[in-house]
Amino acid sequence: MSIRRTLTDTLGRSGKTSRITKGAMATAALALIASACGSGSASSSNSSAATTAAPATTAAAPQITTSSLDSSFAAMTSLKPLVAQGKGKVAIILPDTQSSARYVSFDAPYLTKAFQMAGYSSSDFIIENAQGSDATQLSDAQAAITNGASVLAVDPIDSGVGASIESYAASHGVKVIDYDRITLNGSASYYVSFDNVQVGKLIGQSFLSCISNWGVKNPQVYVMDGSPTDNNATLFAQGYNSVINPAIQAGKLTKVGEIAVTNWDNQVALTDFQQAYQAHPNINAVVTANDGIGNAVVSALKSLNVAPKTVPTTGQDATLQGMTNILEGYQCSSIYKPIYLEAQATVALATYLRAGMTPPAGLVNGTTNNKTTNVPSVLLTPITVTASNMASTVIKDGFIQASALCVGNVAALCAENGIS
């Protein structure tokens, strides 16, 4: 396993198991019995990968579904026979550490845990972070293939580098999973993410509720989208604009302006908002596409001594700072995407592909158009987090530690909302 640059692997190796298990032997026996009985072949859209797998083995494969995934990672243990049968390494190529803290704090550790629980040895998976560089992301993918990867899962920095990686992988017979972001005009075999239009809709719904609950008069709305090169940002905007535009058209809101924040850069977001607020001091409600952009706006508002529950902001990613801003009354909500589900779904998909099998329909529950084709997809469900359900969501899941959140002036706010 290679996890370099910024990732510190804090997880143990207790999930490491033998590559030859009783489960694998049982699967093989079932395959021989079924073959002797003359079972028929199963069809597969990934025929080149599936030709080496006996049809009966596919039928006997563990049937991971999205509903079987949870914070215990227990479903991963059923993949051990497939891990023993599979060939090559699985490489995960993450994009950066700037657009969100999630990649270091959550994606990499959760992916590592999923691999370990599934029975992968430390030499059978690779996790890299491209640090925001297209060239690095491409070279990471090429190096992984050179080092024996048979499956890549890539969260592309942008669709250009994603397409280059997928073309290179295809020329070397390597399957690619788009992780979290889809590659437009790409050739990935599968896509794993949350329903990003729904993420945007939840942002929009929370925003309208907040305007009402906080008693914002004559809302003058400024909209701050994510990076223009990130297709997810486009989908988020599609979602929240579908909610707020009818209110604008009905005269309930006035849209002052909209801007896309380059590279999701929070410092850029701060400058963008300061300039917009200087030009339009009537702005009193801001749609912000993630917690980082939201916090940039909150910082500017605090510097101007704007009181809590005066100017609503929004967000996603359920960051520690986002939770703090919600409790303090500067952010309406954050859309929580349980990354442990995304990590497990990706490792499960990769394990089926690595073993030359078609993933079950209970796991692949939709399709996503990448402007070239409809990519079979695992689409997971996002959750709106507010002060009232923070304890039962991000705190319960261990995504946010109460000991880190409930400090200083926030401790009393935690107590008010049942967070301990």
- Is 38 or 107 the better-scoring residue by pLDDT? 107
Domain shared by 49 and 75, yes or no: yes
Residue 366 has pLDDT above 90, yes or no: yes
Specify if 13 maps to a domain: no
Round to whole Å and give the CA distance between 235 and 197.
5
Query: 49-63, 134-148, 274-288, 315-329: which has the minimum mean pLDDT?
Result: 49-63
Angstrom distance (rounded) from CA 211 to CA 332: 9
Stretch 289-302: mean pLDDT = 98
What is the average pLDDT score of the chain? 88
| Residue at token pair 């999205």 | 66
261 in the same domain as 130: no
- Better pLDDT: 8 or 201: 201
Give residue-wise pLDDT tens across range 211-243: 999 999 999 999 999 999 999 999 999 999 999
- Alpha-carbon separation of residue 302 from 193, 392, 408 (angstroms): 34, 29, 17
Domain co-membership, 160 together with 234: no
pLDDT, average across residues 376-389 = 97
In a domain, 16, yes or no: no
Q: How many CA atoms lie within 13 A of 356 on its CB side?
A: 18
On whether residue 224 sits in a domain, the answer given is: yes
pLDDT in tens, 81-106: 999 999 999 999 999 998 777 899 99
Q: What is the pTM of this model?
A: 0.79
Q: Is residue 125 part of a domain?
A: yes
Q: What is the CATH number of the domain that holds 242?
A: 3.40.50.2300
Do 208 and 171 have their domain in common?
no
Regarding whether 177 and 210 lie in a shared domain, the answer is no
132 and 248, same domain (yes or no): no
The answer to whether position 133 is within a domain reads yes
Give 48-81 pLDDT, tens digit per residue.
333 333 333 444 689 999 999 999 999 999 999 9
Number of domains composing the chain: 2
Query: Is residue 245 situated within a structural domain?
Result: yes
Same domain as 362, residue 272: no
Same domain, 44 and 139: yes
Q: Is residue 83 part of a domain?
A: yes
Same domain? 372 vs 393: no
Residue 2 lies in a domain: no
The percent of residues above 70 in pLDDT, for the chain, comes to 86
Higher pLDDT, 265 or 25: 265
| CA-atom Rg of the chain in angstroms | 23
- Looking at the structure, tell me whether residues 253 and 368 fall in a common domain: no
Query: Has residue 306 got a pLDDT over 90?
Result: yes
Domain that holds residue 70: 22-194+339-380
pLDDT tens, position by position, 114-161: 999 999 999 999 999 999 999 999 999 999 999 999 999 999 999 999
Instruction: Report the pLDDT value the prediction gives residue 13, as an integer from 0 to 100.
Output: 32
On whether both 182 and 244 belong to a single domain, the answer is no
Whole-number Å distance between alpha carbons of 13 and 166:
31
Asked if residue 289 and residue 205 are part of one domain, the reply reads yes
Q: How far apart are the first and last CA of the chain?
A: 36
